[in-house]
Amino acid sequence: MNIDQSKIVVTGACGFIGSHLTEALIERGCEVTALCLYNPQGSYGWLHNSPLLDHKNLRVELGDVRDFQFCKKLLKGQDAVFNLAALIGIPYSYQAPQSYIDTNITGCYNICQAAMEYGLKRVMQVSTSEVYGTARYVPIDEKHPKQPQSPYSASKISSDAIALSFFYSFDLPVTIVRPFNTYGPRQSTRAIIPTVVTQIARGSDVLELGSLSPTRDLNYVADTVNAMMAIASCDDAVGREVNIGSGREISVGDLVRMISALMNHDVEIRQDPARIRPKNSEVERLLADCSLLKQLTGFSPAFSLREGLVRTIEWFRDDRNLSAYRTGFYHV
């Protein structure tokens, strides 16, 4: 499908990746309905101060993917949906797994069922590399076994399966897009890069971190969003799972050293036992094979890790942005 000038719903538009995707779709000429999680303050999350908030092609809805009737109203008359609404923190999924089932699995079911009733031309279910667990082989292609090493991972494996079942059973044009770790402006300090950058930006000489040995495949958010849009525009991607990654791998320890060098600030790293995941839950290694993405769309990431980090650091160093973040406590 040609997504330009289409009517597109983005769920999770108040969040990190969803707010960037919403802006990118508007810049492409789409009419976007952005679903932000209902809250009594009427906040649109990261869209609240977006320069595009008053754009004629943006409509913001407050609501909840757990509510089927609401999802039906949301998708009526639309062409496509990107389902990003989710609970995503792994440590919090140890504490409140039921809420992950309700939001991630039931939410995905509600979106698929409503999309089917209104004949949407495309459902983009946003998965995560966490579904693979610790790599059994690298690079990880889409055939790699799924390993539910956390309730979060289990909920995303399940939501992907629900979405794909709608493709196999009802011909709903579903694609599972599977980003590996994504970073950039607006990310929460639950993630490693904002944790490190915000602490250094506030002048900390000591960083409290979890495990340093796990490796990750890190993607700048503009690359993740552009890959998602390229996949949505590719008809051959219907019914498939598609990795979005960089094909590069770095350990958490080396990443912290790279950030501290880029910020020109030496830090001492202390391990905080509260941040270390249970042994069998920690995903030790993630490295994407993105051959399918390249084959289907020709897409390759535009940002090196260094370029992406420089942009991210610059954004966090701006006091108007940094002031939105609390540091000095462990945020699950």
Residues forming contacts to ligand NAD in the complex (CB under 6 A) are: 11-12, 14-18, 35, 37, 45, 64-66, 84-88, 103, 107, 126, 128, 156, 179, 181-182, 188
**Biggest alpha carbon–alpha carbon distance for the chain:** 56
Closest approach of ligand NAD to the CB of residue 264, in Å? 26
- In angstroms, the CA 234 to CA 239 distance is 11
What residue is closest to ligand NAD based on CB? 15
Comparing CB distances to ligand NAD, the nearer of 10 and 30 is 10
Comparing CB distances to ligand NAD, the nearer of 148 and 265 is 148
Comparing CB distances to ligand NAD, the nearer of 19 and 199 is 19
Closest listed residue to residue 239, CA positions, set 169, 302, 139, 298: 169
Closest listed residue to residue 114, CA positions, set 78, 143, 155, 152: 78
Closest approach of ligand NAD to the CB of residue 274, in Å? 21
Closest approach of ligand NAD to the CB of residue 332, in Å? 12
* SS3 call for 312: helix
- In angstroms, the CA 253 to CA 56 distance is 45
Closest approach of ligand NAD to the CB of residue 48, in Å? 11
- In angstroms, the CA 152 to CA 88 distance is 7
* 23 contacts 184 by C-beta, under 8 angstroms: no
Comparing CB distances to ligand NAD, the nearer of 142 and 204 is 142
Closest approach of ligand NAD to the CB of residue 245, in Å? 10
* SS3 call for 2: coil
DSSP string of 152-206? HHHHHHHHHHHHHHHHHHH---EEEEEE--EE-TT--TTSHHHHHHHHHHTT-SE
Comparing CB distances to ligand NAD, the nearer of 209 and 221 is 221
Comparing CB distances to ligand NAD, the nearer of 87 and 252 is 87
Closest approach of ligand NAD to the CB of residue 205, in Å? 27
